[in-house]
Chains A and B, each alone.
Chain A
Amino acid sequence: MPTVEMTVNGKRASAQVEGRTLLVQFLREKLGLTGTHIGCDTSQCGACVVHIDGRAVKSCTMLAVQANGASVMTIEGLANGEKLHPMQEAFRDNHGLQCGFCTPGMVMTAIDLVKNNPAPSEEEIRHGLEGNICRCTGYHNIVKAVKAGAAAMKG
């Protein structure tokens, strides 16, 4: 079995995996980082989004071996101790979640979106969240949260 080694949320992580082990399985089952969710089996919902070398990707559609040597950030790596990341805080303040299942993926996608476009319009936010599905909120407050999070990340 191949051995993979990567940096996850700033810490070194290494384990033996099968070739077919998905990155999301590696994170959840080997490292116990269950903040990254699995919402579908079809690469469509975005509940599993993490950052690989700073880019948001669907960790259910990537093999753990493909992340060998990479720097991975999950939802667990965002907060600074007790202090939430401004995007997490914005989701809380704007009621951007109900059941919370889609939220880790939404937050990770939103942070990548803002990195590439620091002041996105409502339309740009909706286009940027096309790969993330929410069954609860109707998206309205998620869009509001991302807008507020973008402003907070600047300041």
Chain B
Amino acid sequence: MHDFGYHRPASAADAAGLLAGKNEAKIVAGGMTLIPTLKQRLAQPSDLIDLGGIAELKGIKVESGGITIGAMTTHADVERSTDVRKTIPALAVLASGIGDPLVRNRGTMGGSVANSDPAADYPAAVLGLGATVRTNKREIKADDFFKGMFETALQDGEIITAIHFPKPEKAGYSKFANPASRYAIVGVFVARTSGGIRVAVTGAGPCAYRSKELEGALSANFTPDAVKAVKLSADGLNSDLHATAEYRAHLISVMASRAVAAAS
């Protein structure tokens, strides 16, 4: 790992100032993605701005018809939160399946969403629930946030401060996990909301995306069988040593039907 300057600001405003003032600075949150990347010398930031000391970025609040989770809230805190379990149980279930307990004790919601790993879990919930990503500059709707593999709508120097999840009528998540890393080979988040059915898929494409076919099938009939019967095209889906595109296409329908069966 190459060396870097280390900074631990006490507020999001100070963090933004530091980011703007350094030429190749990077944010570190839980470090569960960034530190392995630095070890492999795949990134060489001049400075690391650690968000770990910023109290305003942590915590879970029940708020106007939903729940708002600070960017620095760990996966373990989401998994165990009674507010999350009561308001959106599927989100707690999703958090409890990320990586392993040690990863969940450090990894954060903001870090996961900012990273937009094609196989990450949270992007499916953000998109599936129609959440709003709050940054130090603006609010970004989930539908406008995920742009591609490791690519989001975030601009240089923009910091996620929190994510607001509206409470759905019903939601469920199911993933077919890679048995070694627990990342999603395919994960599907389904939600029945006042604005209609939303189905978000992760692990299968370059980033999380909504499946219009599955949303259509569930709008007509919100049952596991309604999506199990849908045959999806493998065009454009990921193919790697873990699974072919055809296998992933099949898994999407299966995971969607399990997510509907689990929805509460």
Closest Cβ–Cβ distance, residue B156 to chain A (whole Å)? 22
Closest Cβ–Cβ distance, residue A3 to chain B (whole Å)? 12
Give every chain A residue within 8 A of B28 (Cβ-Cβ).
Answer: 63, 66
Q: Indicate if the CB atoms of A131 and B32 lie closer than 8 Å.
A: no
- Total CB contacts across the A-B interface at under 8 A: 73
Binary interface encoding of chain A residues 118-139 relative to chain B, with 1 for a CB under 8 A from any of its CBs, else 0: 0000000000101110000000
Q: Indicate if the CB atoms of B3 and A58 lie closer than 8 Å.
A: no
* A102: interface (CB < 8 Å): no
**Contact segment of A43-51, A72-80, A144-152:** A43-51
Closest Cβ–Cβ distance, residue A69 to chain B (whole Å)? 9
Q: What range describes how many residues of B lie at the interface? A: 20 to 34
Q: Which residue of B31, B32, B101 contacts A130 across the interface (Cβ within 8 Å)?
A: B101
Q: Indicate if the CB atoms of A43 and B32 lie closer than 8 Å.
A: yes
Q: Which residue of B39, B80, B100, B181 contacts A41 across the interface (Cβ within 8 Å)?
A: B39
Q: Indicate if the CB atoms of B6 and A65 lie closer than 8 Å.
A: yes
Q: Indicate if the CB atoms of B36 and A42 lie closer than 8 Å.
A: yes
Q: Indicate if the CB atoms of A57 and B102 lie closer than 8 Å.
A: yes
* B105: interface (CB < 8 Å): yes
List B residues at the A interface (Cβ < 8 Å): 1-6, 8, 28, 31-32, 35-36, 38-39, 48, 50, 52, 76, 80, 99-103, 105-106, 180-182
- List 20 additional A-B contacts (Cβ < 8 Å) besides A19-B6, A61-B106: A18-B3, A20-B38, A22-B35, A41-B39, A43-B32, A43-B35, A55-B76, A56-B102, A56-B105, A57-B102, A61-B31, A61-B36, A62-B31, A62-B35, A66-B31, A112-B101, A112-B105, A130-B100, A130-B182, A131-B99
